[in-house]
Structure 1
Amino acid sequence: MVNDEDRILADALGAAGAMGGGSGGRFGAGLAARYLRKDVHETTLSLGLPLDRAARHAGATLARVGRLLDTTPDPGGPGAGSVLRALVGGGFAGMNPVVVTVTLTPAGPDTTTVAVRGAAKEGLIKQHAGRKTTCLVTDLLSAPGAP
């Protein structure tokens, strides 16, 4: 798993810059992204699901709102939990990339604690994409009718 949110965001912003300005746009956007501050928001919720079902639900939710990057077991060992990460479009017209990390930890046989973290780069105009995307993912995970 690529653990560096800054690198993932710089690469994503560089890709967006390449669409508008070719290789120079990629380089410029990627370079500028290194110096931008991050809007980070974290929240925790509890799901009434066992870990395996909660992980499938979280994976499907992240795949629905963005591009699933990777899934890895928690370093605590088998059954300790899992971490899922996705790149989601946030901000105006979904053009600001947001890295969403979902960490699932068993809290009992039929309960899973879910930590959701969203991080996005912020320019001069604050869009609060990290916070808004974290809240969106949290709402989708805890929506009535969810598995």
Structure 2
Amino acid sequence: MELPLSLPAATELIGRTLAFLGTKTADSQVLMGAGAIKLNPAVVTVTASEQNGSVHATVRGVAKEGLIRQRAGEKAARLVVQHLTAAIR
């Protein structure tokens, strides 16, 4: 996703968003509840890099899946993207 911010401002926004959504495990990584009733832990990592005057952020979510595939990591990553998009507007 593209963030129309400088790299330091985007990094601060990403950090605040991740802290809001779950327990930060690193500057750009969060452990959050995902799945049907938010009981499946998911790890979401956001990597930001500056390209052509704007910041490109890559959001990756992973979670341990059981017998029934819930796509919890994917849903957690989408939630982070939604919050980042809403924070920009």
What TM-score, normalized by structure 2, do the two folds share? 0.92
Q: Name which one, 1 or 2, has greater alpha-carbon Rg.
A: 1
| Alignment counterpart, residue 8 of structure 2, candidates 32, 45, 52 | 52
One-letter identity of the residue aligned with 2:13: H
Aligned length: 89
Unaligned runs of 5+ in 1: 1-44, 72-83
Superposed structure 1 runs of 4+ greater than 6 Å apart: none
Measure, in 2, the Cα distance between the counterparts of 1:108 and 1:55.
17
1:125 shift after superposition: 1.6
Residue 85 (structure 1) aligns with = 29
Task: Give secondary structure in 2 for the equivalent of 1:142.
Answer: helix
One-letter identity of the residue aligned with 1:46: E
Residue 127 (structure 1) aligns with = 70
Residue 40 (structure 1) aligns with = none
Listed as ranges, the matches of 1:31-110 within 5 Å are 45-71=1-27, 84-109=28-53
Per residue, is there more helix in 1 or in 2?
1
Measure, in 2, the Cα distance between the counterparts of 1:49 and 1:127.
33
Measure, in 1, the Cα distance between the counterparts of 2:52 and 2:42.
31
1:139 shift after superposition: 1.3
What TM-score, normalized by structure 1, do the two folds share? 0.57
Measure, in 2, the Cα distance between the counterparts of 1:46 and 1:54.
10
Identical residues among aligned pairs (%): 40
1:136 shift after superposition: 0.9
